[in-house]
Structure 1
C-alpha cells in the first residue's frame, strides 16, 4: 500500500511539473522553446473606448504579427489592477509587464515629467505629439530607469480644456472660488491654484457623481475622456482653452524587459512604435470628431476669448518649473 501511494505521488508530481513547463510563462521567465508563447500583461486607467486602450489593442496586434503569434498581450483597462500607484508597484516587481500611466501621476514621482504640463505650451495636439521625439522628452523616459521602469514612449489623449456647470471661461476671474477637479500633479496643481480656483484632485470614477451633486463646479479634461466618460451629462459649458496637453507614459517593467532575448526586445520596441504612431494620429483625428460629438450632445462650446489674461500665470509657473530640472528648461526651450 505504501509503495502504491509513493508511486502515485511521483506520478502526480511529474504531471504537475509537465503542466508547469508547458504553460505560457509571460515575460518574467521567457522560455527558449520555439513553440512557446509569451503573454504580457498591460494596464491603464481609462475605458475601453478611450484612445489609450485602442493603442494598447493595436500594440497587441503588432506584437502578434511581428512575433509570428508567439507574443500576446492581455489588457486590463479602467484600473482593474488598482490605481496607478498599485500599477507601478506591480511593474517594479515584474508581476505586471506594461503600463500606460498618466503623465500626471508619473510627474509626482519624477520632477522632469512636469515639463509636459507647462501652461499654454501647445496650440493644438499635433504640436504636442511632435515634441515627444525631442531630446528632452527622450531624456525624461531614460530617467525612469531609476524607478525600475523602462520608459518606452508617449501616447496622447488630447489637449486639456475646461468644462463648467454654470459658465464659460474667458479669464482667470471666471475661475476664482470655483471647485475644479484636476488630476493630481505638481504643475497642474500650481497652475490651478494661481487661477484662484479651488483645485480638487479625484480619480475618474468619482467625477460623474461629483458634478451631478455639486461637489465640484467643473473639470480640467481632455475631449476623449469627456466623451468616453460622458461627464457632459452633468455639465455643458465647455471652453476650449488648450491650456495643457495630456500624454500617457508607456513603460515596461525592467524585470520583464531583462528576461527577454535581444530579438524579442526589438520586437517589443518595433510593435510599440507602430502602435504609438497609429494611436497619436488617431488621437489628433479624434479631437475634431469628439468635438462634434459633444456639440451634437448639446454641449455649449466656446473658444477661450481672452488667452492673454493667463499670461502672468503662465510666466510664473514656467519660471518656477524651469528652475527645478534641466530637462524641463530644455523642453521649454525646444517647445518655443
Structure 2
C-alpha cells in the first residue's frame, strides 16, 4: 500500500490550503467489502487524509461489510442523503444506468494493467457526468476489484463443463447475460454467504477476483481454477448529490481530489498485486487452467449482440479506448 499512501499524501498536500474554510462535517462512507479488503483500507486512508487536509474539521466513519445494507440499499441512502459517501461496484450502477454495462464487455481488457488504463481514460471519466442527473450521486473516479475468474468443481476443462453449473455471481444484467450465454446457472448470492455455499455444494463454483479467492480461502472447497480475466470489475467512488449540493466549492475540491486519489490508488494496488495473488493460487491444491476468449466459444459474441443494442455507443467508445491503450 506504499504507493497508495504516497498518492494520498500528495493529494492531501495539494488541498491543505482549504483547511478550516467550511462547516465541519462528520461523513459516513459505506461499502460491502470486509475490513481487510483493499477497498476498505483505501476508504480508511481517505478518511485520515480528509481529516488531516481539513485540519480536523471533517471526519469519515467507514462502515464495511454491508453494515449499512447491500449496494442497492446504500445507493438509495445516497440518493436520499441518508448516506454521504460510498465505494461501490459499477455493477450496481449499471443496473440503473445502462451505459455502464459496457465496462463488462468480456475480454475488453487484457489484464489488470490494461483495465486500469481504460478506467483512467478521459472517456471513462466522462461517463460519470451523467450520474448526478440520472442517479442522484456524484462520481469522483474509478477503482477496481480486479479481474474476474472462475473457481469451480467437477474437473472442468472446457466451457462445456460449465453448462448447468450453479455459479455464484454478483447480480447485474451484463454478468447474468454472460453466464446465461455459457449455459451455466448464474446464482446471485451475497459475499458473506459464498464460502459456506461453496463448501456445502449449494453452488458449484464462483465468479470471483484473485484477491478474495486468496483472502477468503475459497480454494479450500474447489478443485479447478480457471484464470480467465474475462471481465474487469470496476468500482466507483460516490458522494450523495444532496450532500454535494450543500458543500462549499473548497470542500468539493478537497473531497474530489482526496477520494479520487484513494480510488485511483486501489487501481494501482491491484495492478501491483494481481500477479502475486495468482502465484499464490497456483500453489493451492487446485487444477490451474489459463483460458481466453476462445475457451468460451460463441458466448462472447452472444453477449456482444445483446449489449450492442443496449449500450452500443458506450461500448464502441470503450472498445476504442481499449484498442488505444493496449500495449
- 1:142-157 superposed matches below 5 A: 142-145=129-132, 146-157=134-145
Q: Which of 16, 24, 30 is equivalent to 1:43?
A: 30
Q: Cα distance, 1:167 vs. partner? A: 1.9
Q: Which residue of 1 aligns with 2:126?
A: 139
Contact map agreement 1:41 1:98 (CA 8 A) in 2: yes
**Aligned-pair Cα RMSD in Å:** 2.0
Determine the C-alpha separation between the residues in 1 that align with 2:287 and 2:33.
Answer: 25
The answer to whether the Cα contact below 8 Å between 2:20 and 2:57 also exists between their aligned partners in 1 is no
Of 301, 312, 320, which aligns to 1:315? Answer: 301
Shift, 1:294, TM fit:
2.9
Q: Please state if 1:290 is matched with 2:277.
A: yes
CA distance in 2 between partners of 1:52 and 1:329 (Å): 29
Q: Does 1:95 align with 2:87?
A: no
| Equivalence for 2:5 | none
Unaligned regions of 5+ residues in structure 1, if any? 1-31
Corresponding position of 1:162:
150
Deviations 1:176-211 (A, max 9, x none): 111111111111111111111111111112211111
The 5 Å alignment of 1:212-291 reads 212-291=199-278
2:120, 2:142 within 8 Å by CA — same for their partners in 1? Answer: no
Deviation at 1:262, TM superposition (A): 0.3
CA contact (8 A) 1:165 1:217 kept: yes
Contact 1:40 1:98 in 2 (8 A): yes
The separation in 2 between residues aligned to 1:45 and 1:96, in whole angstroms, is: 14
Number of aligned residues? 303
Deviation (angstroms), 1:297: 4.4
Question: How far off its partner does 1:89 sit?
Answer: 1.3
TM-score (norm 2): 0.87
Work out whether residues 293 and 300 of structure 2, in 8 Å CA contact, stay in contact via their aligned partners in 1.
no
- Using the size of structure 1 for normalisation, the TM-score is 0.84
2:9 maps to: none
Q: 2: CA distance between counterparts of 1:101 and 1:274?
A: 16
Offset of residue 59 of structure 1: 1.4
1:111 and 1:324 in contact (8 A); partners too: yes
| Alpha-carbon shift at residue 49 of structure 1 (Å) | 1.3
- The Cα shift of 1:168 comes to 3.9
Unaligned runs of 5+ in 2: 1-18
Counterparts of 1:54 and 1:255 in 2: how far apart (Å)? 26
Match of 2:101 in 1: 114
